A and B are shown apart, each in its own frame.
Chain A
Amino acid sequence: MVRPDTPKPGVVFEALADPTRREVVRRLAQGGPATATELAGELPITRQAVAKHLATLAEAGLVTSDRQGRETRFSFTPQPLADAVSWMADVGRQWDDRLQALSQYLETGEPRPKRRKPGFDTDR
């Protein structure tokens, strides 16, 4: 399977759609790095469940693990979340432009000028 370098916004949002995973992220963001056992002690879920959620969060790039001896500590990495939020902002702006162009086209029947085209650029 080909893995892209940066997680896509869809994966980040999906990972954060689960309330328990949001709780894990909140705990790591506010309380700093922790082991799965520590997290299980603080949250109302088993260590196995914590491990599963951490794996999903790691897949989305939202946590990284650091193994020291027999202990693996997990920390929150905010960048994918920032990227996902800016994806939302970019796409929103693009649709504002496109709908403006559509509205003008329907009113005037004129194709929009050559250079300033909003395009249909979906891949970021």
Chain B
Amino acid sequence: MDQTSAAGAVRRSVVLSAPVEAVWAALTEAGHLSAWLGGEIELDAFPGGQIVVREDGRLRRGVIVDLEPLRHLEIRWLPASRRIGFVWGPDDEPAGSSGEVEFHLEPATTGATRLTVVERAPAALPSALSAA
């Protein structure tokens, strides 16, 4: 596994023994996604769509900021204060937390896919987040 990580971003790159279509489905179809990730997931797989993850009484909400079928998916997690009008559970931080996850897919050898994941560190300042 490739583990290079730039400051402020964690990057992982793996070759999965499944075609791009299967990997894409595993990332963008709620049933598949929750099967390997866990939790209860709702996902609108289009740019601007929402992702909602419920797990162990916690709720996380994100927005699909970019989606290019079979190639690229980018999710921005919303800070807790913008998730829903109430605090869901004790682990929900009350303010200013976010973060972004990006998935890049490319065909590797026949029937295999290189998947690269980049997670960028959450920033602290709600003003910067709402301006983004």
Evaluate contact between B37 and A98: CB separation under 8 angstroms.
Answer: yes
Q: Which B residues fall within an 8 A CB radius of A?
A: 1, 3, 5, 7-8, 10, 12, 14, 16-18, 22-23, 26, 32, 34-39, 41, 53, 55-56, 58, 60, 77, 80-81, 91-99, 101, 115, 117, 119-127
Evaluate contact between B18 and A17: CB separation under 8 angstroms.
Answer: no
Secondary structure type dominating chain A contacts: helix
Evaluate contact between B122 and A123: CB separation under 8 angstroms.
Answer: yes
Evaluate contact between B77 and A92: CB separation under 8 angstroms.
Answer: no
Evaluate contact between A88 and B120: CB separation under 8 angstroms.
Answer: no
Residues of A within 8 A of B10 (CB): 88, 91-92, 95
B92's closest neighbor in chain A, by CB? A123
Evaluate contact between B1 and A84: CB separation under 8 angstroms.
Answer: no
Given the interface contacts A99-B117, A105-B36, A106-B22, does A10 sit within 8 Å of B122 by beta carbon?
yes
- In chain A, residues 1-21, which have Cβ atoms closer than 8 Å to a Cβ of chain B? 1-4, 7-14, 16-17
State the interface size on chain A (CB cutoff 8 A). 40
In the complex, 15 of the A-B residue pairs with CB atoms within 8 angstroms, ordered by the A residue number, are A2-B95, A2-B96, A4-B97, A11-B124, A12-B121, A87-B121, A88-B121, A96-B12, A99-B1, A106-B18, A119-B38, A119-B56, A122-B99, A123-B80, A123-B91
